[in-house]
Amino acid sequence: MAEAAIGVLDTRFLKALTDPARVQIVKKLILLGACDVSTIARGLSQDRSVISRHLNTLEQAGITASRKEGRQVFYDLDGPYIVNKVSLILEALQPMAELCLPFQDISETGDAA
Protein backbone atom coordinates (compact mmCIF):
# COMPACT_ATOMS: atom_id res chain seq x y z
CA MET A 1 0.00 0.00 0.00
CA ALA A 2 2.68 2.52 0.97
CA GLU A 3 4.80 1.47 -2.00
CA ALA A 4 1.96 2.35 -4.40
CA ALA A 5 1.58 5.80 -2.86
CA ILE A 6 5.32 6.42 -2.98
CA GLY A 7 5.46 5.15 -6.55
CA VAL A 8 2.88 7.63 -7.85
CA LEU A 9 4.47 10.53 -6.02
CA ASP A 10 7.86 9.87 -7.59
CA THR A 11 6.80 10.34 -11.19
CA ARG A 12 7.74 12.53 -14.11
CA PHE A 13 4.12 13.73 -14.19
CA LEU A 14 4.15 15.25 -10.70
CA LYS A 15 7.72 16.48 -11.00
CA ALA A 16 6.77 18.38 -14.15
CA LEU A 17 4.07 20.21 -12.20
CA THR A 18 6.33 21.28 -9.32
CA ASP A 19 7.88 24.18 -11.22
CA PRO A 20 5.87 27.43 -10.98
CA ALA A 21 6.76 28.41 -14.56
CA ARG A 22 5.39 25.13 -15.90
CA VAL A 23 2.22 25.59 -13.87
CA GLN A 24 1.85 29.03 -15.48
CA ILE A 25 2.27 27.44 -18.90
CA VAL A 26 -0.42 24.86 -18.10
CA LYS A 27 -2.74 27.66 -16.96
CA LYS A 28 -2.16 29.55 -20.21
CA LEU A 29 -2.92 26.44 -22.24
CA ILE A 30 -6.13 25.91 -20.25
CA LEU A 31 -7.20 29.47 -21.03
CA LEU A 32 -5.95 29.75 -24.63
CA GLY A 33 -6.07 26.22 -25.98
CA ALA A 34 -3.50 25.14 -28.56
CA CYS A 35 -0.91 27.81 -29.29
CA ASP A 36 2.69 28.35 -30.26
CA VAL A 37 5.67 29.15 -28.04
CA SER A 38 5.53 32.87 -28.77
CA THR A 39 1.92 33.08 -27.63
CA ILE A 40 2.63 31.01 -24.53
CA ALA A 41 5.70 33.10 -23.66
CA ARG A 42 3.80 36.39 -23.98
CA GLY A 43 3.35 37.80 -20.50
CA LEU A 44 5.64 35.28 -18.80
CA SER A 45 8.96 36.31 -17.27
CA GLN A 46 11.09 33.70 -19.10
CA ASP A 47 12.18 34.07 -22.71
CA ARG A 48 11.05 31.74 -25.48
CA SER A 49 14.00 29.34 -25.18
CA VAL A 50 13.25 28.70 -21.51
CA ILE A 51 9.55 28.30 -22.24
CA SER A 52 10.46 25.79 -24.97
CA ARG A 53 12.46 23.74 -22.47
CA HIS A 54 9.54 23.80 -20.04
CA LEU A 55 7.19 22.70 -22.82
CA ASN A 56 9.54 19.83 -23.61
CA THR A 57 9.46 18.73 -19.96
CA LEU A 58 5.66 18.92 -19.94
CA GLU A 59 5.48 16.91 -23.15
CA GLN A 60 7.84 14.23 -21.84
CA ALA A 61 5.55 13.96 -18.80
CA GLY A 62 2.52 13.50 -21.08
CA ILE A 63 0.87 16.73 -19.94
CA THR A 64 1.14 18.46 -23.31
CA ALA A 65 1.26 17.31 -26.90
CA SER A 66 2.77 19.15 -29.83
CA ARG A 67 1.95 19.37 -33.50
CA LYS A 68 4.11 20.94 -36.16
CA GLU A 69 2.45 23.06 -38.82
CA GLY A 70 4.97 24.39 -41.29
CA ARG A 71 7.70 26.02 -39.25
CA GLN A 72 5.54 26.52 -36.17
CA VAL A 73 4.98 24.07 -33.36
CA PHE A 74 1.70 24.24 -31.49
CA TYR A 75 1.23 22.87 -27.99
CA ASP A 76 -1.93 21.76 -26.28
CA LEU A 77 -2.87 19.93 -23.09
CA ASP A 78 -3.53 16.20 -23.31
CA GLY A 79 -6.72 16.23 -21.22
CA PRO A 80 -7.52 12.50 -21.39
CA TYR A 81 -3.98 11.58 -20.29
CA ILE A 82 -4.02 14.14 -17.45
CA VAL A 83 -7.40 12.94 -16.15
CA ASN A 84 -6.32 9.30 -16.34
CA LYS A 85 -3.03 10.03 -14.56
CA VAL A 86 -4.70 12.01 -11.80
CA SER A 87 -7.25 9.18 -11.36
CA LEU A 88 -4.44 6.65 -10.97
CA ILE A 89 -2.68 8.91 -8.45
CA LEU A 90 -5.89 9.32 -6.42
CA GLU A 91 -6.51 5.58 -6.52
CA ALA A 92 -3.00 4.87 -5.21
CA LEU A 93 -3.26 7.54 -2.51
CA GLN A 94 -6.81 6.69 -1.37
CA PRO A 95 -5.63 4.30 1.39
CA MET A 96 -3.78 7.23 2.98
CA ALA A 97 -7.15 8.78 3.88
CA GLU A 98 -7.65 5.99 6.40
CA LEU A 99 -4.03 5.37 7.42
CA CYS A 100 -2.60 8.87 7.70
CA LEU A 101 -4.80 10.77 10.10
CA PRO A 102 -2.79 13.68 11.54
CA PHE A 103 -2.20 13.41 15.26
CA GLN A 104 -5.17 11.08 15.77
CA ASP A 105 -3.19 8.80 18.10
CA ILE A 106 -2.04 11.76 20.20
CA SER A 107 -5.52 13.23 20.67
CA GLU A 108 -7.05 9.84 21.46
CA THR A 109 -4.57 9.10 24.23
CA GLY A 110 -4.78 12.55 25.74
CA ASP A 111 -1.02 13.12 25.33
CA ALA A 112 -1.47 16.33 23.33
CA ALA A 113 -0.01 19.42 24.92
Profile the chain (113 residues) by mean pLDDT over runs of 10 residues. 74 92 96 96 93 97 96 96 92 81 66 51
Tell if the pTM clears 0.75, that is, is over it: yes
Q: Rounded to an integer, what distance in angstroms lies between the CA atom of residue 61 and that of residue 15?
A: 8
- Can you give the residue ranges of every domain in the chain? 2-95
**One-letter identity of residue 60:** Q
Dihedral over alpha carbons 76, 78, 83, 85 (to 10 degrees): -120
Q: Which pLDDT value is given to residue 110?
A: 54
CA separation (Å) from 89 to 6, 62, 94, 95, 96? 10, 14, 8, 11, 12
Q: What is the CATH number of domain 2-95?
A: 1.10.10.10
